[in-house]
Structure formats: structure tokens, C-alpha cells
Amino acid sequence: MIDAATLAQMNGEYVMPPDAGPAWRAAAEYGFDMSLVEDALRLTPEQRLEQHQRALDMVLEVKEAGERHAAK
Amino acid sequence: MPQNDKALLFRLREQNVEFVIIGGVCGVLHGASLVTLDLDICCRFSRENLRRIEAAVKDLHPRHRLTANKLPFELTNELCDSLKNIYLNTDLGILDCLSEVAGIGNYEQVLRQSVSHSLSYGEFRMLSLDALIAAKSAVGREKDLDAVRLFQAIKEKREQQKELF
């Protein structure tokens, strides 16, 4: 049986880390996905740049597909 | 149009361009979960350094991306002395070169507020997190102020966990 808190997390609820300070809480409340920032902070700067490149490639691919579709 | 920041950085380093990474890529290096579509650098606008930038991108069909006719990036001494910023489209993506950064100042001031980091393809300087916050706050656009919220959270986390970079 999955408890309600776990189910909420499965559905995307962010669990604020116990040491979250006011700026961290403010960014989360503003709408940033702070779980992504937590993940990024575990990486080296070089790994962050590589991860960004993959995300950017995907964004540009989707953008180009949209442009191709619009041109039809 | 692809955007390959690593390849652009590698080329700049290869030509010994004096520069500091600023803008969104700097934020990414500091740990921000943002996607940015260009590479912004602040660099020394000396003739020698601008010629190095030219050498770094010369085979990438560089063009002044904000000019009406997308003029080719071809430097003369006169042009070197007149330019304050260079906004380029290249085969490896957008490279914007600025002589100064809002909230920080000219290249020398940016350099003083930068930190060095070693990547596998070279040593690079980027704005410190505090300087990045100051720069984005000074620009003051909504998207920059959004980013400031994120940078402040990262700064706070770093102050709690000193081992983080």
C-alpha cells in the first residue's frame, strides 16, 4: 500500500529538504523545479555543461520540427 | 542552427582569447537548471584579442547576426577600435562577445570578479556566483530576475555545503 505522501511525490510533489533556507524555499515556491537543481549540484561543472548541451539539442530539435511543420 | 558551446569554448581557448564566460552558460556551470540558446562572453576588446576571436571562428562562416544583411565578421583595425560588442552567428551557434557587463563593469572588472574552473578541454574563467547575481539584477528583465531567484538559492545551498561548486 502506497501512503499518501509517497503517492504525492510520485505525482510530482517536491519534498523540501530539511536544510532548505529561505532562498531555496522562495525559488521552489516561485515554481522552479528544485529537484533539478539538486541533481545539477551533484555534478561537476563540466557534467552540467554536457547535460545542458543534451537539453539544448532536444530543444532545438523540437523547435526545428515545429518550424518544418509550420512551413508545410 | 546547432549550438555547440563546448566546441566554441574549445576554439576560443585554442586561440588564447582572453575572456570570461558570462550569461546563461555561466549559470549552468554554477548549477542552474536553465537552457540557454547562446554563448555569452566578456572579453578584452584589444585589436590583438579581437583578432584571436576572428581566428577562432574564421572557418565557421561568422556573421554579425544583428545587422540587417547579416554582414560577414571581417575585422579591420578601424573596426576593432570602434566595436563595443560583437554578436555573431556561426556554424557552431551564437557567440556574443561583450566589452562590459551591466552591474559589473569593463573586462578588467569582470575578470576580477571571475573564478577559474578546469574543464577537460582547458581552464576557463567564469563570473563568480555573486557577480552573476549582480549582473542579472542590474539587467532587471523579468527572465533575469527569475534567474536571480535560482542563483540565490544555489548560493545559499553552497554556503550550507561548502564542498559544493
* Residue B3 confidence (pLDDT): 93
Given a contact cutoff of 8 angstroms between Cβ atoms, the answer to whether B47 and B77 are in contact is yes
Nearest CA-CA partner of A63 in B142, B37, B65: B37
Confidence of residue A1 (pLDDT cuts 50, 70, 90): confident
For an interface test with A, which of B6, B8, B33, B35 has the most A Cβ atoms less than 10 Å from its Cβ?
Answer: B33
Nearest CA-CA partner of B24 in B71, B93, B84: B93
Cβ contact (<8 Å) for A60 and B33?
Answer: no
Whether A27 and chain B come into contact, CB under 8 Å, resolves to: yes
**Residue A70 Cα to chain centre, angstroms:** 28
Per-residue pLDDT of chain B (165 residues; tens, 9 = 90+): 789 999 999 999 999 999 999 999 999 999 999 999 999 999 999 999 999 999 999 999 999 999 989 999 999 999 999 999 999 999 999 999 999 999 999 999 999 999 999 998 889 999 999 999 999 999 989 989 999 999 999 999 999 987 777
Query: Among partner residues B4, B149, B157, which is closest to A30 by beta-carbon distance?
Result: B149
Given a contact cutoff of 8 angstroms between Cβ atoms, the answer to whether B32 and B150 are in contact is yes
Cβ contact (<8 Å) for B155 and A23?
Answer: yes
Nearest CA-CA partner of B113 in B137, B140, B141, B134: B134
Residues of B in contact with A26 (CB under 8 A): 149, 152-153
Cβ contact (<8 Å) for B6 and A41?
Answer: no
Torsion of CA B125, B130, B131, B136, to 10 degrees: 120
Residue in chain A lying closest to B34 (CA): A52
Whether B143 and chain A come into contact, CB under 8 Å, resolves to: no
Rg (CA), chain B: 16
User: pTM to 2 decimals?
Assistant: 0.90
Q: How far is CA B153 from CA B32, B158, B159, in A?
A: 10, 9, 10
Minimum distance, in Å, between the CA of residue A27 and any CA atom of chain B: 6
At residue B77, φ and ψ (nearest 5 deg) are -60, -40
Between CA B27 and CA B37 the distance in angstroms is: 13
Between CA B34 and CA B71 the distance in angstroms is: 31
Give helix B23-30 / helix A45-71 axis angle, nearest 10°.
Answer: 130
Amino acid at A14: Y
Instruction: For the beta carbon of residue B58, count every other beta carbon within 10 angstroms.
Output: 15
Of the listed ranges A10-14, A17-21, B11-15, the least confidently predicted one is: A10-14
For an interface test with B, which of A14, A37, A58 has the most B Cβ atoms less than 10 Å from its Cβ?
Answer: A37
